[in-house]
Copies of this chain bind each other. A is one copy, B any other.
Amino acid sequence: MPSSKTPSSASTPELIWLRPERTGRGPRPAHSRASIAAAAVALADAEGLSAVSMRRIAAELGAGTMSLYNYVPKKEHLFDLMVDAVTGEYRFPDRPSGDVRADLRELAHQQLAIMRRHPWAATVVVTRPSLGPNGLRFAEYYLAVMDPVPFDSGTKLEVMSLLNGFVCQFAEWERGGLSPGQDREQGQRELVEYMVQAVMTGQYPQLAAALSSGGAPADPDSVFERSLCRVLTAMLSPLDPH
């Protein structure tokens, strides 16, 4: 008889943040969502996302495999926990500086740093957006930053999504779309070999011109800086009445 409970989800909710971590009864848990998330993050950092399995993490924690399911109902939720854990790495000042563009730039740089520390994060964030407690803190600070901008809240959140996606995209591109154990060198070499073969068929004159005129390899940081600059300008300018 659910008398005073919120009636929206009858049975156990799918969203992990709606499941209380602990109800107070029974023996003291030997672990916590936080410790499990930390172990998963460490493992993913060290051996790639595909090394993250319930069995591995349980072993890492010295727990039985099935014990984890007392904390994490499904493996997908583990990814949510991991994302929120690394989202906790943002460091916000007490209040925004008032320079919207500078603050957004700073946020983007922090995000890129996080995603370089955790190369799996971009993939997970893009494929499974999830707003844990740390995600909410981020959104809160972001909205404070955007306070001077005369957009309505919906638009501000759209812009947040776009910026977030841009950084993820860049991080993925920088990673080269490689599987964790793969050799970045060889991947590049093979790609070049393939493009050369393709261009030599003569079917791709534009590509041929682009490749032959390709000068410096362009270091990632400056590419990021330039692209971020463009994107920020686009996001902060008033709606284009095209």
Which A residues are within 8 Å of any B CB, using their own CB?
6, 8-9, 13-15, 17-18, 76, 101, 123, 126-131, 133, 136, 139-140, 143-144, 147, 152-158, 161-162, 165-166, 168-170, 172-173, 177, 179, 182, 186-187, 189-195, 197-198, 203-207, 209-211, 213-216, 218, 223, 226-227, 229-231, 233-235, 237, 239-240, 242
B156 touches A162 (CB 8 A): no
CB of A162 within 8 A of CB of B166, answer yes
CB neighbours (8 Å) of A191 from chain B are: 15, 131
Q: List 12 A-B contacts (CB under 8 A).
A: A101-B242, A129-B172, A136-B203, A143-B207, A147-B206, A154-B214, A154-B216, A158-B227, A165-B166, A165-B172, A230-B240, A233-B234
- A177 near B127 with CB under 8 A, answer yes
Contact residues of A: prevailing secondary structure:
helix
Chain B neighbourhood of A139, CB < 8 A: 204, 206-207
13 new A-B contacts at CB < 8 Å, known A126-B168, A127-B127, A231-B231: A18-B193, A129-B172, A131-B195, A136-B198, A140-B203, A140-B204, A143-B210, A152-B213, A153-B211, A168-B169, A226-B239, A230-B240, A234-B235
